[in-house]
Structure 1
């Protein structure tokens, strides 16, 4: 299913970006890099993904995906919109598509998490900080 409008130069498509595009969007959005090997291995294991396409050029300018076990745990991941295309509501449209997927497929009481790097964006979709009940943690491999 694609989200299209004749007057809108952007379409939201239910697909994953190519690995090189994934890496480029993360870099352009100021996100930490991922190895191409890791991207090539990880993307096919996504539960669901969407891209924002600038239709006049065919360029993928935004993305978001859901990873997890498909039953008890879901994580919204790799939300990025190229800076040249920010301010067009693409992040909201990407999140709306991800939320639709969760509403249609996730069983009741599934745990959906994300690591937010933008204040005030995810809260409007019902996400809240986990502290003080828990804290997010991470470790990077070398």
Structure 2
């Protein structure tokens, strides 16, 4: 367990969500879907992950994970908080846990990246746009 406070109904846990919860959180947060096959294959290959549990209900209401090679490249991925639980600092707590993991495990000169879909959030953690030096690109398999 990453944090605990008797008056706080949320707990950050160092674990990955099950595939169904992962898919449901992405959908609730308005993120593009992933196939269940892809999620089942991909989640176990994560370097690190955390979930946010709403203690009164036991429901997983947030998540974030790190993927990469564990040495030269780390990508922060699948950051999501269910809309019913947003605006409570949970995204910040997820990022703090992910950042702690990177700070403790990444060797010098490691490259940490992410694809941001929220303006102004990730900059607080020292992330900056790569343009004009580089440009982010993607390709989706249909």
**TM-score for both structures, normalised by structure 1:** 0.99
Partner of 2:71: 71
- Do 2:67 and 2:75's aligned partners in 1 also have CA atoms closer than 8 Å? yes
How far apart, CA to CA, are the structure 1 residues paired with 2:120 and 2:22? 24
Instruction: Map 1:1-142; keep pairs closer than 5 Å.
Output: 1-142=1-142
Q: Distance in 2 between matches of 1:2 and 1:97?
A: 7
Q: CA deviation at 1:2?
A: 2.8
Q: How many residues align?
A: 142
Deviations 1:57-110 (A, max 9, x none): 000000000000000000000000000000110000000000000000000110
Secondary structure of the residue aligned to 2:12 is strand
Contact 2:51 2:64 (C-alpha < 8 Å) held by counterparts: yes
Superposition CA RMSD, Å: 0.4
Runs of at least 5 residues in structure 2 that lack an aligned partner in the other structure: none
Return structure 1 stretches of 4+ with deviation > 4 angstroms.
Answer: none
Structure 1 alignment gaps of length 5 or more: none
Per-residue deviation, 1:26: 0.1
